[in-house]
Chain A
Amino acid sequence: MTTMTIAKALTAGLRRVLAENPKSLLMGEDIGRLGGVYRITEGLIDEFGTDRVVDSPLAESGIVGTSIGLALRGYTPIAEIQFDGFVFPAFNQITTQLAKMHARSEGRLTVPVVIRIPYGGGIGSIEHHSESPEALFAHTAGLRIITPSTANDAYWMIQQAAACPDPVIVFEPKRRYWLKGEVDTENPAPDPFTAQVVREGTDATIVAYGPLVPVALAAAEAAVEDGRSIEVVDLRSISPIDFDTVTASVLKTGRLIVTHEAPTFGGIGGEIAARVSERAFLSLEAPVIRVGGFHMPYPVAKVEEQYLPDIDKLLEALDRSFAY
């Protein structure tokens, strides 16, 4: 066990991928000498050289498109998109090419490309630097999407993504990069495509992922004062979603709050609400409540606190659920 920030856990995970898989390489803007704008790849160019840690031209479609080509040649490229809001120039390559290559080749070709995307708000930044576009990708078959919320998951999930034969997008909760946690570098984290119950409870379930897992845990702790025992599920995987774990929790608690920073409308929360209503309808004591972003472009930094789900919004949602 060793204590690391999520950022350093990602660096350590990437270092291990590069060391263990000689066909792996990192590619992205400013990831070499600079170590990435968040320094996730810091130092790796010195250890592994410019063929393994590639400072690419400034072109997201090119980064993902050439990563696909490298994968077709037998490599495992791990591409970095600098910020969530800048992934869209690569949207075509990701959705029409990367996601479909295995299917359209009738299973003959695999394209094990990993795309790392720092995502989410709460960092007081300017436009396009605080978005949560995960639902746009979750809607596309052929992609896998995971998001760690702890240092241990960050360390292992980036390695598990690199070992997966399918394309994997790793959404990294950028405002939690400096959150510290224990990392067990010996024993792998659970299957990255499963959810984990991170706090047990009996009265209601909060499902969260990425940057909001600590918020959900804090809300659960605050709810103790109200005499409520809240279970918290860290979704970890956005595609596929581990509906078994979510459903099992709701069958136990009877109430469900789903939260994410992304806009509520058309979001992951709606999919979870629908599935849970199909699987646990008669066990639900109240409608599933979603706590997410508003249907607006991500707001300016001075008001983002009012936009983002927080402890109070989750407690208010719990009040509504229990009052039903």
Chain B
Amino acid sequence: MDRVDGSSARAQDGRSDAGEGVGVDIDADLVQLLAPDGTLGADPVYSAYVGDVDAAMLRGFYRDMALTRRFDAEATALQRQGQLALWVPLRGQEAAQIGSGRATRPNDYIFPTYREHGVALTRDVDFPQMLRIFRGISNGGWDPRENNFHMYTMVLAAQLPHATGYAMGVTRDQAGWDRARLEEDGTAVVAYFGDGSSSEGDAHESMVFAASFNAPVVFFCQNNQWAISVPFSVQSKVPLARRAAGYGIPGVRVDGNDVLAVLAVTRWALERARRGEGPVLIEAQTYRMSAHTTADDPTKYRLSTDEEPWAAKDPLTRLERHLRASGQADDAFFEETAAAGDEMAARVRREALAFPAPSLEDAFGNVYAQAHPLIQEELAWHREYESGFADAGEDAR
């Protein structure tokens, strides 16, 4: 059965494909496999993309989400205790991140925003390393080449044209490959962004370039409904996935709190991109259940009653209900998972507090790849100045 053209299949299904720009009821075209009560549904297009998901994989997704949430809680606590300058919570977005991250292959390349801690887990980035950014140790945190997981980008949407450009490079590298080889070894790129950064010009430009050059990039938007304090309604009058129509690429809205649906839709988009069929825009409907950052105060702009409907759609609760009701996990599993989370959190705390201090001298060395006279001159001055304090000891500073 040919599942290549998901968008036309959606149209046949009677639901509006976002790429066609029709349909006003924003939930009518939402792809969902797992209902909030844990009931497993079917989708004529996307169920096929999770046919291999067995009980062990489902438990794995739950474990990923639980570890991510536990890490998020530990990092938040570390910030509250003064051990991190800032933290960027992701509570509520675990399914969007684990589902999409688990859809990628190791040779795919990921461009995250600064909130993709769950995606990082799926790429085997070690959690403590991520805290180097927030503890003032490093602006990069980890080696992007090790896991094909790029550094966080703090300037909103600036990573999106990088993703498109990277994908344009992939296209050139894979020129002449046949379909079989593309499906086997092809590389795709995932570009993460949010509803807020969807308004940035770079979001637009990256999609224009991607469409024009048929770049194998999946634009994955986590619409968490809030750009710090500004609600989604100020960013867009239409679901973001419908903007895809303007670029001439498929757009899909998916329940971002449904890990299975996110996995299915992202796999579909990645397979399509790998085959050389070009970019896709995915809008994952989710909710930032916590603050924008630890410097934020959501009580100033939203009510707890606004949050309640989304608490009922919690991605972890949803999968737990499904696992329990279907007999695929029992109390012991959830207890073990919680214990593993606590153990991980303790290691995160231990390692974060033991990070060696950074050196300003290293910063001099990393400005340019090639020797630079001004850097050399200023480094020499810096060393001489600092050496003047050597005899006086630390206290004299």
Contact = CB atoms under 8 A, between A and B. Distances in A.
**Which of A105, A164, A242 has the most chain B CB within a 10 Å cutoff?**
A105
**Which of B160, B202, B368 has the most chain A CB within a 10 Å cutoff?**
B368
Contacts of A102: 366-369
Interface string B138-166: 11100111000011010100101111111
Contacts of B213: 54
B368 A59 contact: no
Contacts of B158: 65, 92-93, 96-97
Given A57-B209, A62-B205, A69 B165 contact: yes
B155 A107 contact: no
B169 A65 contact: no
Interface in A127-150: 141-142, 144
Contacts of B167: 69
B395 interface: no
A280 interface: no
A110 B109 CA distance: 16
B151 A104 contact: yes
Interface string B181-208: 0000000000000000000011001101
A95 to B, nearest CB: 10
A109 to B, nearest CB: 7
Interface string B104-125: 0000010000000000000000
Interface stretch (B5-13, B82-90, B295-303, B370-378): B370-378
B204 to A, nearest CB: 8
| Chain B at the A interface: SS class | helix
Nearest to B215: A66
Interface stretch (A5-13, A70-78, A223-231, A284-292): A70-78
Contacts of B173: 73
B168 interface: yes
B162 A57 contact: no
A59 B205 contact: yes
A206 to B, nearest CB: 22
A204 interface: no
A68 B162 contact: yes
Contacts of B205: 57, 59, 61-62, 65
A108 B145 contact: yes
Interface string A30-43: 00000000000000
A20 B74 CA distance: 52
Nearest to B167: A69
A107 B165 contact: no
Interface string A80-113: 0000000001001100110010111111111000
B371 to A, nearest CB: 9
B383 interface: no
B155 A240 contact: no
Contact of A65 (B144, B164, B366): B164
Interface of A: 25, 51, 54, 56-57, 59, 61-62, 64-75, 77, 89, 92-93, 96-97, 100, 102-110, 141-142, 144, 164-166, 193, 240-244
27 contacts: A51-B175, A56-B209, A57-B205, A57-B212, A59-B205, A59-B208, A61-B201, A61-B205, A62-B161, A62-B164, A65-B160, A66-B206, A69-B166, A96-B158, A102-B366, A102-B369, A103-B366, A105-B143, A105-B366, A106-B362, A107-B366, A108-B145, A109-B145, A142-B367, A240-B373, A241-B374, A243-B373
Interface of B: 109, 138-140, 143-145, 150-151, 153, 155, 158, 160-170, 172-173, 175, 201-202, 205-206, 208-209, 212-213, 362-363, 365-370, 372-374
